């Protein structure tokens, strides 16, 4: 089990770093938003993997039958909230991208900075 746990956490670190890399190195704004999504989802995977009990079942109470081992419901609750907040952030970010495209004509970060540096602000 130790190797499964370590593999799990290391894949989570890899996914989080891939998302982080997309966020800071790519210049296209929509790609940055995709990187943010990957980053957020990897953190959810980490949380949920902490709530799992080997040999447990989903936390829905069953009638009778003596001892049943349930997995932890608490990380699920927190991550439900986090998923919905994540999609809200994505929606507002995408509408900002649409406005930027209409105002500047491009969604590449370096072109936007160059345009801002060239034209003096009114």
Partner 1 sequence: MSDQVILRVATKIIVPTILLYALYVQFHGDFGPGGGFQAGVIFAAGIILYSLVFGLRRTQKVLPSWVARLAASTGVLIYAGTGVVALLKGGKFLDYSVLAHDPEHGQHLGILFVEIGVMITVLGVMITIFYFFAARGREDL
Partner 2 sequence: MEILVDFALLALLAVTAMAVVRVTNLFAAVMFAGIYSFLSACLFTVMDAVDVAFTEAAVGAGISTVLMLATLALVGSKVTTPQFRITAMSTKVPPRRPIFPLFVVLVTGGILVYGTLDMPPYGNPDDPVHNHVAPHYLEESGHEIGVPNVVTSVLASYRGYDTMGETTVVFTAAVGVMILLSSLRGRDTYGQEAWGDEKVQDLDVGFVDAFGEEMDAPSPKVGRRKKRKRRKKGGRG
Residues near partner 1, by CB under 8 A: 58, 60, 80, 84, 91, 94-95, 98, 102
Strand partners of residue 70: 57
* 43 sits near partner 2 (criterion: CB under 8 A): no
5 vs 13: CA distance, rounded Å: 13
Residue 2 vs 66, nearer CB to partner 2: 2
Binding mask of the shown chain, residues 84 to 113, with x at each position contacting partner 2 by CB under 8 A? xx-xxxxxx-xxxxxx-xxxxx-xx-xx--
57 DSSP assignment: B
Phi-psi bin for 83: left (phi > 0), alpha (psi -120 to 50), beta?
A: alpha
Residue 24 vs 65, nearer CB to partner 2: 24
CB of 114 to partner 1, least distance (A): 25
Binding positions for partner 2, 12-31, rule CB under 8 A: 13-22, 24-28, 30-31
* 8 sits near partner 2 (criterion: CB under 8 A): yes
Phi-psi bin for 66: left (phi > 0), alpha (psi -120 to 50), beta?
A: left
Residue 38 vs 82, nearer CB to partner 1: 82
**Lookup: tokens for 21:** 């890399």
Nearest to 105 by CA among 90, 116, 91: 116
CB of 28 to partner 2, least distance (A): 5
């Amino acid at each position: 089990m130790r190797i499964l746990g370590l593999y799990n956490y290391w894949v989570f670190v890899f996914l989080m770093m891939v998302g982080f890399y997309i966020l800071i190195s790519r210049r296209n704004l929509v790609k940055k938003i995709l990187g943010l999504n990957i980053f957020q989802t990897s953190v959810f995977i980490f949380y949920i993997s902490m709530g799992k009990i080997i040999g447990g079942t989903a936390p829905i109470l069953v009638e009778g039958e003596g001892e049943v081992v349930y997995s932890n419901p608490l990380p699920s609750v927190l991550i439900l909230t986090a998923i919905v907040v994540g999609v809200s952030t994505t929606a507002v970010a995408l509408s900002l991208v649409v406005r930027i495209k209409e105002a500047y004509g491009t969604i590449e970060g370096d072109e936007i900075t160059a345009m801002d540096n060239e034209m003096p602000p009114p």
